Amino acid sequence: MIELGKITVSLFPVLALLATLIVLDSYKLVTLLSVLTAIGAGIIAAGLAMLINGILLRQLGLEMSTYSRYVAPVIEELLKSMYVIVLIRRNRVGFIVDAAIYGFAVGAGFALVENFVYLLSLDTSNVMVWIIRGFGTGAIHASTMMLLATMSKAMLDRRGDRNVIAFVPGLILAIIVHSLYNHFLLSPTLSTIMILIVLPLLVITAFDRSERATRAWLGSGFDADQELLRMLTTGEISESRIGKYLTSLQSRFPGTVVVDMFCYLRLHTELALRAKGILMLRQAGIKSPPDPEMQAKFEEMRYLERSIGTTGKLAITPFLHTSDRDLWQLNMVK
């Protein structure tokens, strides 16, 4: 079998699965550049893993089989997870399906390097070996990261914060799955078949949960933001619970600061509505033109944040709906 054929058989399956994920994403929120960057992060993680594994294998004096079962999965999953954790904590991931794509891309980049190195070190023409490397070992790296990313994103959405502890369950599960795969409890062929059965189920589950969460968020969030913006622009806010709450703050903040709080709420709500509108257009296959005034609006928001201060921002936070997803939507319209 020619070398090009080996490369194709061993590397194509993971890339094909990643492409499928991107095509199925109806909101098209993860750009090609973002996917390539995530793949690059996986490639870097693979290089670091090979370096660290080589050093630890010599220092610990363990047999290769023992090391690959109990040490390598910990090192490799930790390194792969770093980029995913950074993305989610910086509010660059809006929905569960986005987390699945980013996680899968990082795992795909890792698998590309590992399979390529394996390709260079192993001289065999057995087609089954390369099929197993592509669908088995390659897919396990991608699927463990997809598990970690989707579990972490779902947990953070429920908790409403960005505590790093939320990433621990997904990381532990990824390590366990990776370790079990390296135990070779089943034959390589059976393990590959099992992955091909389980992986599509994971993808379907991720998309189903993401689509349901997105529809719910677009509905209730859009209505709530519209009502808040209507009150802010018509001046009827004084009779609302938001207006009464902000009015009560006048005893603790100067009048000019309270005015800035109103302005910040209005601007925040306008941007939130625009972000939701962009999502709806993208779902319908319509690309939204860039807003030339967007940069000025974000600069005004930064000015107002400095004006009202940290305490003032905390005082109006209950009315900003600042969950991870809502913070992400503001990043999206930049």
Tell me the pLDDT tens digit for each residue of 170-188: 999 899 988 988 887 766 6
Check pLDDT > 60 for residue 329.
yes
Residues 6+ apart with CB under 8 A from 107: 14, 42, 80, 141, 142, 143, 144, 145, 146
pTM summary value: 0.67
Tell me the pLDDT tens digit for each residue of 72-104: 999 999 999 999 999 998 888 877 878 888 998
CB 173 within 8 A of CB 148: yes
Residue 171 CA, distance from chain mean position: 14
Across 77-113, b (16+ Cβ under 10 Å) vs e yields: bbbbbebbbebbbebbbbbbbbbbbbbbbbbbbbbbb
For residue 276, what pLDDT is reported?
75
* Residue-averaged pLDDT of the chain: 77
For residue 272, what pLDDT is reported?
77
Tell me the pLDDT tens digit for each residue of 233-247: 766 666 666 666 666
H helices then E strands: how many in the chain?
13, 0
Tell me the pLDDT tens digit for each residue of 275-322: 777 777 776 777 777 777 777 888 888 888 888 887 777 777 766 655
Q: Percent helix, strand and coil across the chain, each rounded to 5?
A: 85, 0, 15
Question: Band of the pLDDT at 2, cuts 50, 70, 90?
Answer: very low
- Across the range 9-28, mean pLDDT stands at 67
Check pLDDT > 90 for residue 165.
no
For residue 1, what pLDDT is reported?
45
